[in-house]
Each structure stands twice: as C-alpha cells, then as structure tokens.
Amino acid sequence: MNWRWIEVIGMIGTLLFVAFAVAGLITLRLTALHAVPMWGKVLLAVGIVAVFLSPFLLRDSHVGNGTGYVVVTYTAYFLFVVVFLFFSFMLMRDVGWIGLKAIFRGMPSPFDAGAVLKANIGLGLVVLAIAAWSLYAGMRVPAVRRVVLESDKITVPVTVAALPDIHVHRALSRDKVRGMVAAVNALKPDIIALPGDIWDDRADVIQDFVAILGQLRAPMGVYATDGNHEIYTGRGAAEKLFHAAGIVYLMNEGRRVADRIVVAGVPDVQGARIGRAPNPEKALALADPEDLTILLAHTPKTFDMVGNSADLQVSGHTHGGQIFPFHVLAKLGNTYLAGVYRHGKRVLYVSRGAGQWGPQMRFLSPSEITLITIQPTK
C-alpha cells in the first residue's frame, strides 16, 4: 500500500472519530437533561455526523459544477462550521462553567436543565452570528497587509507581493480571484510570489481560472512552487496550469531576477514521499554570498532545514489557523503560525493566506494579500 492510500485511510479514520466525538458531546448536552426519547437522540446524533461529513464528500466528488453545486457546497461548509464552533465553544463553556461553579457556589449548576437550556440557546445565537461574519470575511477580497524589512545587500527598495493558499477549486468565486489579481497588480510589486496551494481541484474543472491568474504582472516576474495540495492533485496537472498562466514554476531551482537578487523555490515537504523532497541548498545554488535571496517554500518549517541560507523565506500553509480555535493545532503542527520570524539575519514571513481550504470562512485569522517591502539598511 503506497503512502497516498495510507494517508487517505488515516484521514478518513480521524475524520470519523472527530465526527462521532462532536456529535456525541453536542447530543449529550442538548438532550441528557431533558425528556427526549432515544430515537430523537439517535436522529440528532446522526444528523450532526451527516452535517459534519457532507462537505468533505462534496469537495472530493467527481460530479457537480455550476451555481447549484456552489450553493450546496457553501451551505454544507457553513453548517459544518456552525457545528464545529458550537462544539468548540460548548466544550470551553462547560469546562469553565464547572470550574467557576466550584469557586462560586451560588452560580447555576451546569447540570441544571433550565440553566443549560438557556445557555445552549444563547450559545447557538452567538455561533450563528460568528458563522455569518466568518462567511463574509472569507468571501471578500483580502485586505493588503504591508510588511517592511531591511537588507544590507541592496541599494534600492524591492517589493514582493505574496499570494499563497488561493486554493483554486470549482466552487471558488471567479470575481474574488479577479479582485485579488487586480489588488496585487495595483500594488505594482517588483516580484509576485505564489508559494503553494494555488491549485486545489482537478485541472479539467478549473481551467477558466488560468486566464485570470495569467493577468498577474511584475517586472521581475511571477513565481510559484508546490504546496501540499499541488502534490495531492498531481504535479503534472499543477505544472501545466502554472505554465499556461505564464507563471514561472520553481522546483528546487532559482532564477536571478536582478543583478543582486535571486528568487528560488522548493516543493512542499510532502513531496518527500513521492521523490520530490525540498532541497533549499540546491534551489539557492546559483546565488552568490552578496545576493539577496528570496525563497518560496509553502511549509514554514522549511525555514529550519539544513542548507536553507535564504535571506527571506516566504511561506503560507497555516492559514493563520483560519477558524478559531484551529489556531492551536496549526501552531503545534507547524511551529510558525503567522507573521515575521527571525533567526539571526534570516527572516521568515508566514502569510495567513489569500484564500481558504474547505469552508470559505475566516474567524480571528483574516486572509491577506501581503506586500513585503525590503529596504536598504540605513
């Protein structure tokens, strides 16, 4: 059995475990203190599991496209997020409630039916409001986040527009992607960086996005490299899509874009499983010590790889957590979550991403178009 099937089986097992755990807790807290018949509890639990799993089944389906598919997909993901937030906040509420009750004896009990009913209704209203805001935040064109760095290797400022994690798929809004492209071009950056997870669906259903991304313009070039989702969808497909859009596709290689500036790119760390491991040293081989080196690497942890001497690494992948409280898991799994990190003179910038995986929703982690300005050291 190859790594892909092992990973798929592991993901399915994890997803089922989480779905049943979420359904179990919500059902328990909604029904245990009330006179709900067993068939009602089972029906509620099955419904929650179905809501939790449905968007993943839709997302990987080989059928469906057009407006109807988009509406169904967005609705399924919206309900998924509502269930996830309700579960997360309910768990945090109940843990805090039990703790406070131990301190303040006069508080209503977390096992009092009336108090729990009121708390659940209030929580439900809050979650719906948060989910509605999250959908708006995820569907709008990202705001520009400006970052200023310094380097003693240049004499004039250099600007890099970073646009990772667009996650182009058949249900994504074309107008949103056009808005991203227009916003980036309006910044007039010297370099445009697309460090992975740009394509995230079968090539035959996302061809119309090629012309949109092909409108990106920068005098020193538009560069991209693999994210884990390009690897999942197949290198051949991703490479053809990038080339068709006129985007330079960097696979453990670099390009000299100015007298003292080199842009390089490495595949995502997932590529190691299929013989395409990231090799920063190889990617940066053409650079001289006095060159300013910019490395595109989808996964932030590439920053700590042996042989990575890049002055600036631009990454994505984490989405900054995308939807709280996923922030905790994203931080634990990637070391670096979002923003600027330094190691000596080397700098890592982790973008929260221009798009989203799964739900087109954001909560406490806004998407971004990043403009990095590298100024000469004063």
Which DSSP state fits 325? T
Beta strands of 217-300 (E only): which ranges?
222-225, 248-249, 253-258, 261-266, 292-297
Return per-residue pLDDT of the chain as tens, 378 residues. Answer: 455 666 667 778 888 888 899 999 999 999 988 888 999 999 999 999 998 888 877 765 555 667 788 888 888 899 999 999 999 999 999 999 999 999 988 899 999 999 999 999 999 999 999 999 999 999 999 999 999 999 999 999 999 999 999 999 888 999 999 999 999 999 999 999 999 899 988 888 888 999 999 999 999 999 999 988 888 777 678 888 999 999 999 999 999 998 899 999 999 888 777 668 889 999 999 989 999 999 999 999 999 998 899 999 999 999 999 999 889 989 999 899 999 999 999 999 999 999 998 889 999 999 999 999 999 997
CA–CA dist 92, 375 (Å, integer): 45
What is the predicted pLDDT for the residue at 1? Answer: 47
What is the predicted pLDDT for the residue at 35? Answer: 84
Question: 363: phi > 0 → left, psi -120 to 50 → alpha, else beta; which?
Answer: beta
Beta strands of the chain (E only): which ranges?
143-151, 158-162, 191-195, 222-225, 248-249, 253-258, 261-266, 292-297, 312-315, 339-343, 346-350, 368-376
Beta strands 312-315; 292-297: pairing state: parallel
Closest CA to 92 of 67, 119, 125: 119
**Rounded to a whole number, what is the distance in angstroms from the first to the last CA of the chain?**
57
For 348, residues 6+ apart whose C-beta sits below 8 A from its C-beta are 300, 303, 312, 313, 315, 336, 340, 341, 342
142-376 is classed CATH 2.70.150.10:
no
What is the predicted pLDDT for the residue at 71? Answer: 85
Location of each CATH 3.60.21.10 domain in the chain: 142-376
